Amino acid sequence: MNPASQPWTVLDLISVVSKSSVVLLVLLLVLAVLRHQSAARRVVAAQLGLAALLALPLVWSLLPSATVALPLAWSAVTDAPLVLPDLPGLAVLAAPPSGDDADGMSVPFVLVWVYAVVVGLLLLQWGIATLRLARLKQAQSGVATDPGLHPAHQRWLATLEQLRAAFGIQRPVQLLVSDQVRAPVSWGVLRPVILVDTVTVQNIAPDDVLRHELAHIARLDWLSLMLARMVVALYWFHPLAWLMLRQLQFNMECATDDAVIKTGGVPSAYAKTLITISQLAHRPERWVTPLAAQGKTLATRIMAILEPHRQRQPVSPRSWMLGVVATLAITLPLGSVALVGEQYRWPDTLFAQPNQLANGAGQTAADELDKLGNPNYTALARALRLGDFEQRHALGSESFKQRAAIAPLVLALHDANASTRRLAMWGLGEMRFAETGPVIAGMLKDPEPLVRAEAARALAELQNRAWTFHITPLLQDTQPVVRANAAHALGDLADPRSLPALYQALQDKDEKVLSEVRWAIREVQGG
């Protein structure tokens, strides 16, 4: 299926959630395995996982699909209802009005719109934050252009130029000082910016602070963070996506701490600097790469900084390529997997000769049911051939929710044999497919009492109270078995609107009917 060219279904939504879950679970597992490796490796693993999530829809739409069939119980939910044509020889009632149909809004339609609104809000938040950074940059003057350059500013500017060369950064880096931030931050790609608060500039040595921010700039961490937030905006419905984002942010900071130490920072002095700056910052900025941290995150970073034998090496080109290969090995097969339901279509050929339906329809239906390979319908086919209602049950636990059985059972309703029609009606009731309701309701007027009784019970199995008023007239049926089953069906539906008819049925002379009526009243009142 090409999702770009077809309306989304419940199955598509399940596919997106399941595939993204696999990627995120694999990513979190890899991060757990790499917990004793360098933070830089964990950052690369997280970045590749994000790339896999972004690539999934593209792979899904472009690569050939490898179909995986869902269990019947799942496909019963994900597949669209079967469209039943006009059926010769059957009194088919109109389906009751549905709130969803009246509004023209399906579940997938509503979910997709909710999804799109939330994505839009998250991306809007992203845009506002980016605009805020641009305004913050415009509002500040660069240190180098300050006419009354403070000695501390001179020291920061000289250190910046020295360390920028050490980190191999060819792009110009703008250093700004502002009283609108509480801790040093950096952002940008082509013309990156380091924004330092005035307290830090005047009271803290620039070396470790600038090492930290330049390490972020050298690795393009701000760009990675923005792409990660875009991915989370697209997969906002998945809690593991938010967990992945937190893991990426934390590992980015740990990798930057490692870079500070690898380029000459003294662990104890750097840890003290980090604590001091974090105490001054009320809350780290979310849309930039902040030096400050709080709570458990700060404590974990401090312990990692002071750990003498911690691995701090960067990622080698070989390790990076291995990560890319591993990501492709997961993403390509996973993205090409297409979950498919039953995808059953109405077989017009079964009803091609309406004049012959009354003769042998049950036998033909039994043959079709045998082809399904479902123990439930194999047993039902045997009962149809024998004309024995007691032989309808199977010993297995396979689901009845198989739309391919609808047409054979509807065919069996045309049979002149009442036992065949009753068995077919029972099978339709066990399916509980809403689209069969009009056919079942039409059989409430069957000339055979047992068929009418079975139709009432089958209609109640659909658990749609809109059918209540089609069942209540059967409380006045001439046959006690029909009245009893109608009362039981109304009890199953537990629709308060059936109470007047049930109270009136308390005058029935048949004890079995009265027992069912009393039970139904209790069910309705209790429901």
Which residue type occupies 158? A
Interval 7-16 mean pLDDT:
68
Share of the chain above pLDDT 90, in %: 34
Dist CA 511 CA 514 (whole Å) = 5
Residue 357 has pLDDT above 70, yes or no: no
Tokens 């009751």 — which residue? 96
The model's pLDDT over 43-62, given as tens digits with 9 standing for 90+, comes to: 998 888 888 888 887 776 77
Integer Cα distance of 305 and 462 in angstroms: 64
Any domain includes 285: no
Helix (H, G, I), strand (E, B) or coil at 441: helix
**pLDDT (tens digit, 9 = 90+) per residue, 435-446?**
999 999 999 999
pLDDT digit string (tens) for 87-104? 766 655 555 655 444 445
Which whole number is the average pLDDT over 119-131? 89
* pLDDT at residue number 384: 93
Instruction: Answer yes or no: is pLDDT of 73 > 80.
Output: no
Whether residue 193 lies inside any domain: the answer is no
Question: CATH no. for residue 464?
Answer: 1.25.10.10
Name the residue range of residue 435's domain.
348-526
- Statement: the pTM of the whole predicted model exceeds 0.85: no
- Two structure tokens written together for 132: 């805020």
The count of domains in the chain is 1
Question: Of 181-190, 411-420, 513-522, which range is least confident?
Answer: 181-190
> Position 354: which residue type?
P
Higher pLDDT, 119 or 334: 119
Tell me whether residue 187 is in a domain: no
The pLDDT value given to residue 486: 96
Is residue 169 assigned to a domain?
no
Q: Considering the domain boundaries, does residue 395 fall inside one?
A: yes
**β-pair type (185-187, 193-197):** antiparallel
Greater confidence (235 vs 140) lies with 235
Of 178, 173, 172, the C-alpha closest to 202 is 178
Residue 338, helix vs strand vs coil: strand
* CA distances, 347 to each of 70, 77, 374, 439, 447 (Å): 22, 21, 19, 16, 27
Is residue 410 included in any domain, yes or no?
Answer: yes
- Gap between the Cα atoms of 369 and 404, Å rounded: 8
Q: How many CA atoms lie within 13 A of 291 on its CB side?
A: 34
pLDDT of 488 > 50? The answer is: yes
Would you say residue 184 lies in a domain?
A: no
Task: Give me the pLDDT at residue 457, please.
Answer: 96
The verdict on residue 398 lying in a domain is yes
Per-residue pLDDT, 2: 43
